[in-house]
Amino acid sequence: MRSDRRRVVITGVGCVTPLGTRVEQVWQKLVAGASGVGPTTLFDASRFPTKIAAEVRGWDITDEGQDADRWRFCGRHTKFAAGAALQAMHDAGLPHGLVADPTRLGVYLGSGEGQQDFEAFTRMMMAAIEGETLDVAKFTKLGLETLHPLSEVEQEPNMPAGHLAAMFDAQGPNLNCLTACAASSQAIGEAAEIVRRGEADVMLSGGTHSMIHPFGVTGFNLLTALSTRNDAPTRASRPFDRDRDGFVLGEGAAMVVLEELEHARRRGATIHGELVGYGSTADAYRITDTHPEGRGAAACMQMALDDAGLGADAIDYINAHGTSTDVNDRVETLAIRKVFRDRADAVPVSSTKSMMGHLIAAAGATEVIVCLLAIRDGLLPPTINYETPDPDCDLDYVPNAVRQARCDRALSNSFGFGGQNISLIVSRFTG
């Protein structure tokens, strides 16, 4: 590995997901092959082609010791972020931020836009309709009288990062990126670069998103990107299987604490692993289609390997983007073969989206945590619902059951609409 720069280790992890709201709870369900997918309950989806989702159920911000009133006007994405961040900072031994210099503690998130109050808007719109025409002036007046001034501000994608900075007195860099499904992986990669450059000693990073609402589902249905296997929700997400018909929309948040190695050592922090490689490329092709030859994805993985100073033979496990869409799974397989060549058949690849759905902006951070746990326990989580092989998807996808195998380094892929590609490599910390 490269020795010409500051090393970045991971000292804290936290998550709020459809499979559970604590890291160990999520991990146990992943290795058991459990699914977090079920009927949509956050809104009436009965008239939509897709009626299923991977929702966060049975969790509230008060479960993290927070006063509900403080978060009253915040969107689900902000509450998820706060919950995951509180867990990660506590795990890192920094429950209140408490670093010697708060300007050396920063936040970098991959956060999506918040969920609007659709019920309020619908009531206002219906009240402002005269005959078959919307009275815009009346609608505006109702909005000014009905909506709280924070209701719009809190939906902005940078709000979670702002809240986290205030929670932990993080006066250093405060940034957010929204590069679709690659967002939280990009945030982690860029946050690590900030630490490597010496601009911060600790960065709280990860992602949060909730798109399980009428606008979100409508958009993905129009793109024919979502599974419509409504009669069998737990079997709907089936990455790399020949009969896959789209991804399952999920929600949640995942956070990691990135820390400069010597800073972590000085305060006696527990180190979960080391972030050693980061690659970022663009397909420069179509907005919603992956390049058919996987050029961006392959270049991204190679860039991460080069950044880490590693060859392809050093990777023991790949957590795939693996969305369960026809094009992504086929092209990701091709890209892996381009990078790993003769060794491609020997590298286990799995998609944990088969169990927790696709958390969009929060997906990559969740999967980085999965990689750390795979390294810790020597267990590779499965790709569930893999029943019928696809000739175009011919790698070892760890089908249907957890596998025991030593894992020292894992690569995590995240590819987003717009053509953004991110690959991260995490390694066992060896001192």
Separation of alpha carbons 380 and 365, rounded Å: 17
> Nearest 5°: phi and psi at 386?
-85, 100
- Cβ–Cβ contacts within 10 Å for residue 410, how many? 26
Active site residues: 181, 321, 358
Report the helix count and the strand count for the chain, using DSSP H and E: 13, 16
- Dihedral of the CA atoms 261, 176, 375, 273 (nearest 10)? 10
Give me the residues paired with residue 164 across strands.
none
Separation of alpha carbons 111 and 362, rounded Å: 7
Please, are residues 414 and 430 in contact by the beta-carbon 8 Å criterion? no
User: Which tokens sit at 33?
Assistant: 């092959």
Residue 72, SS3? Answer: coil
Give the β-pairing of 202-210 and 105-111. Answer: parallel
Say which DSSP state 249 is in: B
User: Which tokens sit at 350?
Assistant: 């799995």
User: Which tokens sit at 49?
Assistant: 């082609």
- Dihedral of the CA atoms 426, 320, 328, 309 (nearest 10)? 30
With a CB cutoff of 8 Å and minimum separation 6, the contacts of 40 are 48, 50, 51, 52, 53, 55, 212, 217
What percent helix, strand, coil does the chain show, rounded to 5?
Answer: 40, 20, 40
**Which of 349-383 are b and which e, b meaning 16 or more Cβ less than 10 Å from the residue's Cβ?**
bbbbbbbbbbbbbbbbbbbbbbbbbbbeeebbbbb
Separation of alpha carbons 365 and 315, rounded Å: 19
